[in-house]
Amino acid sequence: MNTDIEFHKKLFLNFLIIEKSLSENTLFSYRSDLERFIKYLNEIKKISNVKEIDDNIINQFLKHLNKHGDKNEKKYSDKSVARFISTLKSFFKYLESEDVISINPVEELESPRTSRTLPEVLTIEETELLLSMPDENDKLGLRDKALLETMYASGLRVSETSDLETGNIFFDEGYLRVIGKGSKERIVPIGDIALNFIVKYINESRSLLKKSKSGNIIFLNFRGGKLSRMGILNIINKYSNLAGIKKNVHPHTLRHSFATHLLKGGADIRIIQEMLGHSDISTTQIYTHIDREYLIEVHKTFHPRA
């Protein structure tokens, strides 16, 4: 049996693509983590055989990460180390299931405890200010207005926004059909304001941007292609700077703000989970912590004895 780790890395990544239908970002993380591990084995340990890898080598690799960090010599955070461990656990579990190894060297390995950092969100006033920045009389400004309104109205991920097609917008019913992580489909409501700007953009601006390669993609760049993740990031940076918002605003900020504002308005956490496309309620529950922080802040600001 072939026991070369590079060979099994390729099989494992193919397995993730075919069997798990993981997103490109998740696959990239798996691939980069494994390549970092294999580089360590080749250069430091002179090992290429998966059967030679034991728990001692794994522990030495994790210590190596803490000591040497990445290419910029920055020490890996506990969160990054935890991700490496998760990748290695998945990889060696796969090797075990394929009878490539009989002893799993990471079976007993524990991930470092990581504190979950609360995402930064915009206030409703900051959100309104951001959304008011694009010039609706300019073809790209109108596109940007429709894009920002859509992201905030439906809490879309940046990749979901980039991939959104005309056929997935149900104007009369008032919802979007979104293809999320792992190719999972969900239905997300979208308000009249965002829908009206999408209609205006399609009629007045998209027709000017559209090229033969555009297909059914809604949000197009000036060359008629699909707006990239970086393109959307640049748009959000542009208008947050114009609005004078001092917070670190990025595409996920609108998603966080969407969820937080719904929660503050009284929406049920399970409904928010469904709209965000979270498979685990614990991922959504981070917004209850944000809401609690807001309540404490309001109390300290306005209560005479706070």
Residue boundaries of the structural domains of the chain: 5-97, 124-302
Gap between the terminal Cα atoms of the chain? 69
**Which pLDDT value is given to residue 71?**
53
Q: Is 201 known to be catalytic?
A: no
Enumerate the β-bridge partners of residue 189.
Answer: 175
Vertex 14, ends 35 and 66: CA angle to 5°? 25
Predicted confidence at residue 117, as pLDDT, reads: 59
Q: Is 252 an active-site residue?
A: yes
pTM of the model: 0.63
| CB 194, CB 153: distance < 8 Å | yes
| pLDDT value, residue 144 | 98
Record the tokens describing residue 15, joined without a space.
């397995």
Among residues 89, 93, 278, 294, which one is catalytic?
Answer: 278
Question: What are phi and psi for residue 188, nearest 5 degrees?
Answer: -125, 125
Per-residue model confidence (pLDDT) at position 73: 47
State whether residue 75 is helix, strand or coil: coil
Q: Which residues of the chain have pLDDT under 50?
A: 72-73, 306
Number of neighbours of residue 155 by Cβ within 10 angstroms: 25
CATH number of 5-97: 1.10.150
Catalytic residue status for 145: no
Cβ neighbours for 98, distance < 8 A, ≥ 6 positions apart: 11
> Is residue 83 flagged as an active site residue?
no
Contacts of 303 (CB under 8 A, 6+ apart): none
Q: Which of 226, 255, 256, 261 is catalytic?
A: 255
Dihedrals φ, ψ of 213, to 5°? -85, -5
Is 181 one of the annotated active-site residues of the chain?
A: yes
User: What is the three-class DSSP state of 117?
Assistant: coil
Query: At 72, which amino acid appears?
Result: N
Q: pLDDT of 178-218, one tens digit each?
A: 887 767 788 889 989 999 999 999 999 999 999 988 999 99
Pairing of strands 185-189, 169-170: unpaired
| Beta strands at 185-189 and 175-179: parallel, antiparallel or unpaired | antiparallel
If one looks up domain 124-302 in CATH, what number appears?
1.10.443.10
Tokens found for residue 143: 């596109």
pLDDT of residue 283: 63
75: annotated active-site residue: no
What does the pLDDT read at residue 214? 92
Bridge partners of 176, per DSSP, are: 169, 188
Burial class (CB in 10 A: 0-12, 13-18, 19+), 240: buried
Active-site option among 143, 157, 256, 261: 157
Which of the following is catalytic: 181, 186, 200, 250? Answer: 181
